[in-house]
Amino acid sequence: MKINYPIACIPGILLLHVMLTISVLTVKGQPVPQNKYGLPVVQTTAHYQQLVAADSNQALIDIAAYIPGIRTDIRYATADNFTHQVLYPYAAAYLRLPAARALKAVQEELNRQGLGLLIFDAYRPYSITEKMWEIVPDDRYAANPRNGSGHNRGVAVDLTLVKLQTGQPVAMPTGFDDFTEKAHHAYPVSDTMIAANRQLLRSVMEKHGFLPLTTEWWHYYLKTYKEYPLMDIPFSGI
């Protein structure tokens, strides 16, 4: 006969077992701990590993190792960024497996045109988004922690095009993290080559499942971003 005990009557060890079982059973669903804004944020490596064990698509992939020939210039590992502070302990670029696969397809298509990708940023721990907001509390220029960012989900990437022969970036309307209207996709560009470069990057990224951010020509995120929780795992915990 099955007896349903009130939780208060369950012995301590058994209660711990029950709670751990519930955690494991629901880790692929929604019971991710909420932060002070009520957002579910994965905050421990153990929890992240549980997610990956339940669904391999949750894995964060080192895209520099995964995508042959891809180049990186991780600005937030240096002071050469809009905050003028070093925000990452070292340069790293991670994306969820489906985003990494899609970006690999982008790289392969561009390679056939003598071009490649240069990555400025990819997965960003949620705590870094909070720090950015403390420095620049303006949602035109930084993600509001109350909402989180596609970068925190591991499915957004900041990037540009480079020429394969030289490794040099092609001309774009602005530099990276230029927070003016000139960086908007709709901004009219008189130089036809620059306009074509911006459009080429957009068309190839969209072809492979990414969406553009209207105010930043360099920022793209996976259409299925809602399938991935916000993360606050440091690079060393991946």
Q: Which residues belong to the annotated binding site for Zn(2+)?
A: 151, 158, 219
β-bridge partners, 144: none
Q: Name the active-site residue from 108, 130, 181, 216.
A: 216
Residue positions counted in the chain: 238
Whole-angstrom distance, CA of residue 176 vs CA of residue 219 = 9
Whole-angstrom distance, CA of residue 62 vs CA of residue 64 = 6
The crossing angle, in degrees rounded to 10, of helices 192-207 and 97-111 is 130
Whole-angstrom distance, CA of residue 170 vs CA of residue 74 = 17
Active site residue 134: no
Whole-angstrom distance, CA of residue 220 vs CA of residue 228 = 15
Any residues with CB less than 8 A from the CB of 123 and at least 6 apart, and which? 60, 93, 94, 95, 151, 152, 154, 231, 238
Binding site feature residues: 151, 158, 219
Active site residues: 216
